[in-house]
């Protein structure tokens, strides 16, 4: 976990990707806001977001003057979400996009025009209307923020790119298949970070096509460390409970199981994109922290030493896919029929559905879960975020 040296404690917030699952992050932030006074400014000098987490990250950064205002803005959007705010869900739109995709990828007849299974222009319109990108620079200059990072995947160079905007000049970094690029963040960076492969179209930036920032993201924690963090709060989007029977061993297979549906395969692929690398990186950081404890004290904050990084992880206490399965009927009729063939509307396909179910019923249950999980860890959060205990 190599990173730039620091002179003071610096806290970072990591918001991972996960499509509609990112509503859980809003709930956690709502719980954190409840632990703070009404006029509390942004608590996180460094904010790093990936995919849908990048939307939440920029929402926090653009309201850095007041944490409660930021959370209220996020709640306003996520609690009223509908799929048509993110993608075309009407029959003409779905059929037109399906035809463009088939013509390009099966018939080769579009002249190189980029297409995807779903049309996410409604999301661009929503973000263009809601995001006040100019407020990021104001927050940086006011000292309410040190840096904000958004990740995207460069298809041409086959590497993760961390676009970041900082208060001062921050030296860019380059590692194996990942680089940091200082720039002024805008709508195209956000759309690139949320462009889930195959589902949403890639975005052209600086003569390269970019897609979802979680793709091949080898070290999701690295941008926060390169930007100077030595404390990291990670808000995950997956449940970590065991799925084994009570005895700890898999139960007997009585019948030959059905082969996995396209939705099941898609769900596992999205898990590998959005979740697996973050969990692996957290394990690596834990090992490096143990190593840091054995090195001479004088080396612990130096450039050549391995420094300890405090980490707190908040993640769903309930399986998100089961929550999605309860709300699959909330999908618009056209989109439900469009996804039926893949198995996404069946219980077995709820993993994939949990990433695509941008509907208020599902999002509000995730928000409520995130708030409960945050308040259940209230003492840990107060200590970690240095929030005074109530009188």
Of the residues 16, 73, 119, 212, only one is catalytic, namely: 212
Write out the two tokens for 296: 């001479």
- Contact status, residue 181 vs residue 162, Cβ threshold 8 Å: yes
Catalytic status, residue 315:
no
Q: In this structure, how many other beta carbons lie within 10 angstroms of the beta carbon of residue 199? A: 18
Question: β-strands 203-205, 208-212: how paired?
Answer: antiparallel
Query: Alpha helix locations (H) across 310-377?
Result: 320-326, 333-340, 350-356, 360-376
Write the CA distances from 302 to 113, 149, 297, 298, 308, integer angstroms: 49, 24, 10, 8, 11
CA–CA dist 221, 13 (Å, integer)? 10
> What 3-state class would DSSP assign to 183?
coil
By CB atoms closer than 10 A (0-12, 13-18, 19+), residue 225 is buried
Q: How many Å apart are CA 185 and CA 169, to the nearest integer?
A: 15
Contact criterion met (CB below 8 Å) for 178 and 162: yes
Q: Which of 16, 51, 73, 354 is catalytic?
A: 51
Torsional sign, CA 89, 326, 371, 231:
negative
- In sequence order, what DSSP letters do the residues of 278-328 get, joined into one string? HHHHHHHHHHHHHHHTTS-GGGTTSSSS----EEEEE--SS-HHHHHHHTG
Q: What are the distances in angstroms from CA 309 to CA 89, 225, 231?
A: 44, 9, 5
Longest dimension (CA), the chain: 68
119 catalytically annotated:
no
Alpha-carbon span 182 to 275, nearest angstrom: 26
Q: Where in the sequence numbering do the catalytic residues fall?
A: 51, 212
């Amino acid at each position: 976990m190599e990173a730039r040296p620091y002179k003071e404690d610096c806290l970072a917030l990591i918001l991972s990707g996960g499509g509609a699952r990112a509503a859980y992050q809003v709930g956690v932030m709502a719980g954190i806001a409840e632990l703070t006074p009404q006029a509390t400014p942004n608590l996180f000098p460094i904010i790093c977001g990936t995919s849908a987490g990048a939307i939440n990250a920029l929402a926090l950064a653009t309201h850095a003057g007041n944490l409660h205002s930021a959370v209220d803005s996020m709640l306003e959007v996520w609690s009223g979400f509908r799929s048509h705010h993110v993608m075309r869900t009407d029959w003409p739109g779905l059929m037109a996009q399906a035809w463009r995709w088939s013509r390009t990828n099966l018939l080769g007849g579009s002249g190189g025009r980029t297409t995807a299974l779903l049309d996410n222009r409604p999301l661009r319109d929503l973000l263009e209307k809601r995001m006040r990108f100019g407020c990021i620079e104001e927050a940086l200059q006011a000292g309410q923020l040190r840096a904000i990072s958004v990740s995207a995947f460069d298809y041409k160079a086959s590497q993760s790119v961390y676009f970041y905007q900082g208060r001062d000049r921050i030296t860019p970094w380059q590692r194996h298949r990942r680089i940091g690029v200082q720039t002024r963040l805008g709508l195209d960076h956000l759309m690139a970070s949320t462009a889930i492969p195959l589902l949403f179209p890639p975005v052209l930036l600086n003569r390269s096509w970019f897609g979802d920032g979680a793709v091949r993201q080898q070290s999701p924690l690295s941008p926060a460390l390169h930007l100077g963090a030595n404390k990291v709060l990670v808000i995950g989007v997956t449940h970590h409970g065991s799925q084994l029977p009570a005895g700890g061993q898999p139960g007997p297979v009585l019948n030959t199981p059905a082969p996995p549906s396209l939705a099941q395969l898609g769900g596992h692929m999205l898990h590998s994109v959005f979740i697996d690398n973050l969990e692996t990186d957290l394990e690596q950081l834990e090992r490096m922290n143990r190593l840091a404890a054995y090195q001479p004290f004088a080396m612990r904050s130096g450039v050549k030493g391995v420094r300890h990084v405090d980490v707190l992880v908040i993640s769903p206490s309930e399986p998100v896919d089961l929550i999605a399965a309860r709300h699959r009927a909330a999908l618009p009729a056209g989109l439900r029929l469009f996804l039926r063939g893949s198995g996404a509307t069946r219980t077995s396909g709820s993993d994939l559905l949990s990433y695509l179910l941008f509907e208020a019923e599902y999002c509000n249950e995730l928000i409520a879960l995130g708030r409960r999980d945050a308040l259940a860890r209230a003492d840990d959060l107060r200590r970690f975020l240095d929030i005074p205990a109530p009188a």
